[in-house]
Structure 1
């Protein structure tokens, strides 16, 4: 094991456990925030998403200006492309059908949801299946690149990050303060152990900042889903896996904070820097939610659902796994990591995610919940 991994492993695990507890106590679901807008015209949870982004934006810029954050933009963000928006659209459909995004599925799985377990299996399968189309899709992404050698909007405009991020964060804070005064950020919660969503939003933003400072990038987990899927596939077709070009890639090559040399990682079935960063986060979120549910006496296996909901969860998981590689990455990475620094890839992902969740909501209402 690389000597720089212990701090990364420990940091990711602690961040994951706290995130799992917080998301379970608040039932903090990214999917619901988008889905509820389209199904019920309810914007309560979306206001909490805005709170996460605004607080993260302020924290990330504070970290950059103070020197706590050395690399901005962070590793693995790349050239914006039409592929980001198309992948976001498919991701939006998938997360609504699955009943949760990559993190929502984990905390619901930890609290005993059988449907979320099936969605998780679908994500692993979809992530691994992407390797079959990677040469064609990567060629499409290069052909539809929208800007060369720029990653964020400030870079594109030739401005200091502060010139855009601080005014947006201040405007967002003023709007949120008005929403608080109007009582639109809080709702009564009577369940034992309930955590107000706005408090959860602040804690999750702080966890993303801690990840950026200690690990060198915000939270993200879907490349590890691909690694897990590749490991399972290698049990049955090792020769095929070894010949797929996607699994040989090493896109992560950076020097973590508090380390003196670079580490590498990729989607292939081996333990590397990505495994050290993301595996503990996955275990932590699921384990934290399970511990929270057990401490409250709420843990039990939820499996009595109509068959169509299990089919929807599996299909949604497959779409999420595939789309997370097409984008690349997921809502956690882009909405809570890239969007606060105005990453172009993340803005395009959001542009696709919105109509995708609308389409997914229509499908859910028509064929699943009826």
Structure 2
């Protein structure tokens, strides 16, 4: 589809949301379009940035993510400090988090995308990610069915730095930690490239910098408009849950996760009233707009590669629910709003990425 008719359809859907649903949901649809356009236009991939660091000793993708985290925290933490009605992306440190983060980091490299990566690449029409998206949703739903059992294995109360220390100390501590990581990444890449007798790539690349600035702005708009940080995974699980509940495949009334008042209410409402879902729809639309009229770049996969990718997508969704989010919900929104669980998520997911890259190479992706 060309951009003009697509733009007309998107504008019509925005107008319908504004008239029939709510101003907030219409605004969040626009936020989603902005997020999708930036993700697709700059090809800002969290998965890709980590892979560049591990395989190519190229720090530019990770430095773009560090910049994003710093900017998002600088905007979100003062807002959280001054407006208590806004909520942080808190998750409890738990066995569930430890297992989920590691498995997620492993599977996202095989599936070539985290939550946001799968979403925007599906919007661009890339076949593998388009096929993985429903598997991700099913996996996220299955994870929600078992989350209560996982949390019973051991958990601690969620900790928010902003509410515990105040927004300014929390922000300074976050920026200091990000700076330490930046210095460590730079030193690692310099040493690794020196050992291979090649020059190290620069620390900054325009697409990563522009992507970081754009995503930080739209993530902050999401926080202000929705009252909660940007998330991706919940919407996927909700879509699958509504199908399962509507068809009578599963009785969710007694499930620990879906019997909670907020989740039970969303099961009964239209998906267009869900904050995460409407933003996800916007991301798909924004990525589709960027890719409009262009053939999707796709690598031909063997039958084995397709099977491995689809299984990875299913497990990716399952582990994302256990880990209380993906690179967006756990890492970006968690760290930028002061949640300790975001800082726990990152190293475990990164170790998982190292093993995931080995599996990826083994199957020739």
Q: Identify the TM-score tier after normalising by the shorter chain.
A: 0.7 to 0.9
Between stretches 95-104 and 238-247, larger displacement belongs to 238-247
Contact residue 118 and residue 310 of structure 1 kept, 8 A: no
Shift of 1:29: 0.6
Aligned to 1:41: 57
Q: Which runs of structure 2 are paired with 1:197-208 in the superposition (5 Å)?
A: 197-208=208-219
Aligned to 2:268: 270
Aligned counterpart for 2:139 among listed residues 116, 126, 149:
126
Tell me the alpha carbon deviations over residues 220-254 of structure 1, each in whole angstroms, 9 at most, x when there is no partner.
0211211111122235544534453432223xxxx
Contact residue 15 and residue 281 of structure 1 kept, 8 A: yes
Aligned counterpart for 2:172 among listed residues 166, 174, 183:
166
Q: Which runs of structure 2 are paired with 1:318-337 in the superposition (5 Å)?
A: 318-337=314-333
1:55 aligns with 2:74: no
1:186 aligns with 2:205: yes
Contact residue 135 and residue 317 of structure 2 kept, 8 A: yes
User: CA separation in 2, counterparts of 1:239 and 1:318?
Assistant: 18
Contact residue 24 and residue 107 of structure 1 kept, 8 A: yes
Between stretches 335-344 and 20-29, larger displacement belongs to 335-344
Aligned counterpart for 1:363 among listed residues 356, 359, 363:
359
Alignment gaps of 5+ in structure 1: 188-195, 251-263
Report the CA distance shift for 1:352/1:4 in structure 2 as closer, same or farther (over 3 A): farther
Report the CA distance shift for 1:230/1:154 in structure 2 as closer, same or farther (over 3 A): closer
User: CA separation in 1, counterparts of 2:175 and 2:265?
Assistant: 34
User: CA separation in 1, counterparts of 2:270 and 2:246?
Assistant: 19
Aligned counterpart for 1:233 among listed residues 240, 244, 252:
244
Report the CA distance shift for 1:334/1:132 in structure 2 as closer, same or farther (over 3 A): closer
Aligned to 2:195: none
Contact residue 16 and residue 282 of structure 1 kept, 8 A: yes
Shift of 1:139: 0.8
TM-score w.r.t. structure 1 length? 0.80
Contact residue 139 and residue 313 of structure 2 kept, 8 A: yes
Aligned counterpart for 2:225 among listed residues 214, 218, 227:
214
More helix by share: 2
Contact residue 86 and residue 227 of structure 2 kept, 8 A: no
Match of 1:122, SS?
Answer: helix
Tell me the alpha carbon deviations over residues 142-189 of structure 1, each in whole angstroms, 9 at most, x when there is no partner.
x242xx4x512465xx53331241364378579989x9xx942026xx
Tell me the alpha carbon deviations over residues 114-155 of structure 1, each in whole angstroms, 9 at most, x when there is no partner.
100121111111112224423421211xx242xx4x512465
User: CA separation in 2, counterparts of 1:35 and 1:274?
Assistant: 35
Aligned to 1:152: 160
Tell me the alpha carbon deviations over residues 28-79 of structure 1, each in whole angstroms, 9 at most, x when there is no partner.
11111112222222221111100100111111133245x3x434652x6243
User: CA separation in 2, counterparts of 1:267 and 1:33?
Assistant: 37
Match of 1:133, SS?
Answer: helix
Q: Which runs of structure 2 are paired with 1:280-291 in the superposition (5 Å)?
A: 280-291=278-289
User: CA separation in 2, counterparts of 1:362 and 1:176?
Assistant: 25
Q: Which runs of structure 2 are paired with 1:312-323 in the superposition (5 Å)?
A: 312-323=308-319
Contact residue 94 and residue 318 of structure 1 kept, 8 A: no
1:106 aligns with 2:119: yes
User: CA separation in 1, counterparts of 2:66 and 2:267?
Assistant: 36
Shift of 1:303: 7.1
User: CA separation in 2, counterparts of 1:91 and 1:209?
Assistant: 25
Shift of 1:305: 2.6
Match of 1:248, SS?
Answer: coil
Report the CA distance shift for 1:302/1:225 in structure 2 as closer, same or farther (over 3 A): same
Q: Which runs of structure 2 are paired with 1:234-253 in the superposition (5 Å)?
A: 234=245, 236-238=247-249, 240-250=251-261
TM-score w.r.t. structure 2 length? 0.81
User: CA separation in 2, counterparts of 1:243 and 1:82?
Assistant: 23
User: CA separation in 2, counterparts of 1:171 and 1:269?
Assistant: 39
